Structure 1
Amino acid sequence: MKYTNPTVFTIFCGKCRELFSDSKGAAAAITLAFVMPVYLLVIGIYGIGEIVRNKIELQNAADAAAYSASVVQADYLSRIATVNKAMAWTYVDLQKRSLDLAMDVFCKYVFIQFQKDFNMVRQKNSPCHMHVPGVHYNCGTDIAVFDPLLLIAGTGVGIPELANGKSGKRLKCLTVFSSTGHATVAVSAVDGKSLQESTRIVLIYNTEAINSGMEFTEDWKVLHSPGRLPVLARTGTLRAEIAVPHGEWRLYALGLDGSRREELPVENHGGRLSILLDTAALKKGVTPFFELCR
């Protein structure tokens, strides 16, 4: 008897004949046909669940990364803001220090220039003393240093009458009819008497005065250059009237050293002196001081 090795095809063919000829395994086929879709459904649901879970985990990871990056960026921006604020305060403090330094240097410069001008004025323009019995009044250096008008020292000096502006000022003894510019006009007795009884009176016609080379803006509100000595006085014309005792009165222009420079005309109308001053016409230069005496 001769045997041969079965092949896959022969085995498959045999099994097919047995399937047609025998009823065994019918339930298994039905079970397989029912279980397979259920298995595939469960596997599909599980796979979809895994995909959704992985997606959720991936989304959570992305959100965490974004949040972490935002926290880091916010911290970075906060640090930048802190540094910027510190830099701003540093710049502000630096500007304050710079202004303080500039003001300190400017004040030192002004003080040094003041000392130089003060010493020069004291050397070149020493005070004079015009002697009146019991009275001394100084003009010259003391005018520039202590008082913008006139420093009167001694005893028995009367309270001066002052008129500011251009015209139309009427006081008890002084009447200013006109002035070509803004000026201060003052009269003061220097013999210990009132103006109505005095025999020696100082008249002050103080116009605008600036340093040589002083520069301002057009509205004269901002000073660009303080200038230098000598001081320049604006010339002007004054028409005034002073009530004085009866007598023969004379008017003199005084220098800053107190000396009488020249005699000026004056009219006496029954105890009221009519004065017409033109400082531009003075022979020896502008002066704010004039002497009335009899």
Structure 2
Amino acid sequence: MSRMQPYVDELKSRFGKVTVIHKSSAETLLQVEHVIPDRGYAAVLCVTLGVHFPRTPPIVTYFDGRKISLASPDGSAPDAWDPSKSKLVDAVGNAFANLANLWGSVVPPSMELLTSQLSSLSDSMLQDIVSNPNCLESYAYQLPFFKAIRDASCQTIDDIERVANENLKLQPVVENLRAEVEGLQRSLEQNVQSMQKMLRATPLLNSIGTPESLAKTLATDVRTLDAQCEEIAKKILQLDCATDKLRFDNLLEEYREKAKERHFIDLKRRAYCASLT
């Protein structure tokens, strides 16, 4: 059973006459006929269900292509469509109510009504010509105008069909591009998460990852060496050079190395900070 069939069945249970006009992998087009109770006339609407329905709202149009709002006529619902709460039958019911409010007591035209009127007009035109030959000249003057209207209508229909066919061709391309973009977005998010995890796992990268962090790390190294030099100096002062000269000389040499290292790193820090300004 088609994924859209339950929605079609719901519409049939509410409105009665529902016809599937077109069905494809991209969309399902339905024609819904409903007698509006408080108006007493029947109206016909077209309902388009996209491939992502019900996550995306249905599109309800009149036969001339004009969209009809799905919002509640009384304005009680702030949003016309909520995927988690809205129902298709209620949305289509709102559309019929909005159509009725638009036309009021006037019966909205339908495709069948227009076809019937055009057919009857052609018959009456032939009867006039048969009963009164003088009408032929009048119709002859009107013929170019009617022909221009017909040609324009045919051209409009051709343009609409061409645009619709192009849209059908472009829709799979757009869906593929959308899927590709979503895949790239997921890949980027995974790469960012991996990079963040790597940064947390390697503190050294965090300490030199930016100019500010590198300058801060150099300053910390200088303070650490200062503390180490101070600690060695305390040990030297506590020794008696006459009684433990070897120990004294070793600590003094260690102090010189630490002081030299501290001076070298401090010079690097000063030079690096100067390069940032």
TM superposition score category, shorter chain reference: under 0.3
Question: TM-score, structure 2 length as denominator?
Answer: 0.26
TM-score, normalised via structure 1 length: 0.24
The structure carrying a bigger strand percent of its residues is 1
Larger radius of gyration: 1
Larger helix proportion, structure 1 or 2?
A: 2
